[in-house]
Amino acid sequence: MYFNSFENASDTAGWKGYCPVDLVDDTPENGGKKAIKLSCGCIAPHIYFDIPSCEKDCYLIVTCQGKGEGAGGSVALENKTDSIRFGIDGEIHNWQFFQTSDTLYSPAGEKLTMYLIGGGEAGGTIYLDMLQVEKVEK
């Protein structure tokens, strides 16, 4: 439904927010040549963007490869009534697979927004690659 491996600047087109996103040459295995680095400590959400809505009612999960520094950060997917998220600890220095533990029910045509947060009130950094929103059976 949505996949981004962050290979060039156009992969961040349409993103809004308060913190700069850097493309870096540090990637996980099979992650291509670039990943994103989001460092912040300001008002959340730091970066957000809309992803295509489901054509039919569906259930969604979010997966990615990630690591963190400082206060780390989080990834969230929201619609009007609910959200799913996972945190990336700031002491994860090697790439790891992350997946939401819950599913998000998304009615057909309802707006979906992805939020990427580096830190929070305290400064933090997350590195992300192979960010994916997948439809799953409930």
Residue 97 one-letter amino acid: F
pLDDT value of residue 44: 63
Residue range 2-136, CATH number? 2.60.120.260
Q: How many residues does the chain have?
A: 138
Token reading at 24: 């870096």
| pLDDT value at residue 95 | 98
pTM of the model: 0.92
Residue 23 is predicted with a pLDDT of: 95
Rg (CA), the chain: 14
pLDDT of residue 79: 97
Return phi, psi of residue 99, to 5°. -150, 140
Query: CA torsion, points 79, 5, 66, 124, in degrees to nearest 10?
Result: -70
Please check the confidence at residue 51 and state whether its pLDDT lies above 80.
yes
